[in-house]
Amino acid sequence: MSSSQQYQAESPKRVRLTRREKEILSLIGEGHPSKRVAEMLFVSKRTVDFHLDNIYHKLHVKNRLQALQLARRLGLLSASEVGDSGVGLEEP
């Protein structure tokens, strides 16, 4: 099964993100780097990265851009929760 077929096979009922994972993904989608997300949530950058790794694993993706796109496609995050600019999606 190709990656695109795998993504299409996923359904919102099968993929569940925690409230915190959604919060972090939303902030990343707004263009904030992990370090800034950590500051905003009063946690360490390592904690944010840990949550991102969990998100990547659950969604079967390799980076934040793929995670954001797939989360939107699956209805896990609304378009308003995820910025469309793509700014800040790559770690400096």
Determine the pLDDT at residue 83. 56
Confirm whether 9 is domain-assigned: no
| CATH code where residue 37 lies | 1.10.10.10
Confirm whether 39 is domain-assigned: yes
pTM: 0.74
Domain that holds residue 69: 16-75
Going residue by residue through the chain (92 aa), what tens digit of pLDDT does each one get?
455 445 444 554 588 999 999 999 999 999 999 999 999 999 999 999 999 999 999 999 999 999 999 999 999 887 666 555 444 454 44
Confirm whether 24 is domain-assigned: yes
The number of domains in the chain is: 1
Confirm whether 2 is domain-assigned: no
Q: Which of 38, 35, 43 is nearest to 88 (CA)?
A: 35
Determine the pLDDT at residue 14. 81
Confirm whether 30 is domain-assigned: yes
Query: SS3 sequence, 39-71?
Result: HHHCCCHHHHHHHHHHHHHHHCCCCHHHHHHHH
Handedness of CA 48, 49, 54, 56 (dihedral sign): positive
Confirm whether 84 is domain-assigned: no
Determine the pLDDT at residue 71. 93
